[in-house]
Chains A and B, each alone.
Chain A
Amino acid sequence: MKHPRMAGTAALLTAVALTAACSSGGGGGDGGESPSGTGPITVWLSNNEQEVGWGQDVVDAWNAEHPDEQVTAQEIPAGSSSEEAITAAITAGTAPCLVYNISSAAVPGWVRQGGLVNLSQFEDGASYIEDRVGEGAQTYLTDDGYYQLPWKSNPVMVMYNKTVFEEAGIDPENPDMATYDDFLAGSRKIVESGAADSAIWPSPTNEFFQPWFDFYPLYLAESGGTSLVEDQQATFDDENGKAVADFWATIYSEGLAPKEASTDDAMSAGTTAMQLAGPWAIASYAESVDVGFMPVPTSTGEAEPITFADSKNVSMFTSCENQATAWEFLKFSTSEESDGQLLEATGQMPLRTDLATTYADYFEANPAYEVFAAQAERTGDVPSIPNSVEVWQAFRDDYSSAVIFGSSTVEEFLSGAAETINGLVQG
Chain B
Amino acid sequence: MSTASGELRTTRQRWWGRQPIGTLFALPYLVFVLAIFAYPLGFAVYIAFHDYYFTAPGVDVPKPFVGFDNFAAVLTDPQVLEAFRNIGVFLVINVPLTVVLSLVLATALNAGIRWAAAYRIAFYVPYLTASVSLVGVWMLLFSSGGLVNAVLGPLAPDPSWLVSSTLAMPTIALFVTWKQLGFYILLYLAALQSVPRELHESAETDGANAWQRFRNVTVPGVRATTVLVLVLAIITGANLFTEPYLLTNGGGPDGASVTPVLLIYQRGIQQQNPDTAAAIGMLLVIVVGVLSLAANRINRER
Contacts and interface: CB of A to CB of B under 8 A. Distances in A.
B39 A16 contact: yes
B59 A87 contact: no
Given A28-B58, A29-B57, A401 B43 contact: no
Given A32-B58, A400-B254, A113 B53 contact: yes
Contacts of A109: 271-272
A188 B273 CA distance: 44
A318 B270 contact: no
B63 A24 contact: yes
A260 B57 contact: no
B197 interface: no
Contact of A84 (B56, B163, B269): B269
B245 to A, nearest CB: 9
Contact of B42 (A20, A261, A400): A20
Interface in A221-279: 258-261, 263
Contacts of A259: 159, 163, 253
Nearest to A5: B14
Contacts of B144: 258, 260
A77 B219 CA distance: 50
A28 B57 CA distance: 7
B143 A260 contact: yes
A24 B271 contact: no
B145 A197 contact: yes
Interface string B46-82: 1000101111111111010000000000000001000
B279 interface: no
Contacts of B58: 26-32, 93, 114
Interface in B59-108: 59-61, 63, 79
B42 A17 contact: yes
Nearest to A109: B272
Contacts, number: 140
Contacts of A318: 56, 59
Contacts of A15: 34
A19 B39 contact: yes
Interface residues of A, number: 56
Nearest to A317: B56
B42 A91 contact: no
B157 to A, nearest CB: 13
A167 interface: no
Interface stretch (A204-212, A280-288, A356-364, A366-374): A204-212
B253 A400 contact: yes
B162 interface: yes
Contacts of A32: 58
B260 interface: no
A4 B12 CA distance: 11
B14 A12 contact: no
A17 B139 CA distance: 45
A106 B147 CA distance: 40
A113 B56 contact: yes
11 contacts: A4-B14, A13-B42, A16-B34, A16-B41, A26-B58, A32-B58, A114-B58, A206-B249, A259-B159, A319-B57, A405-B165
Interface of B: 14-15, 34, 38-39, 41-43, 45-46, 50, 52-61, 63, 79, 136, 139-140, 143-145, 159-160, 162-163, 165, 249-255, 266-267, 269-273
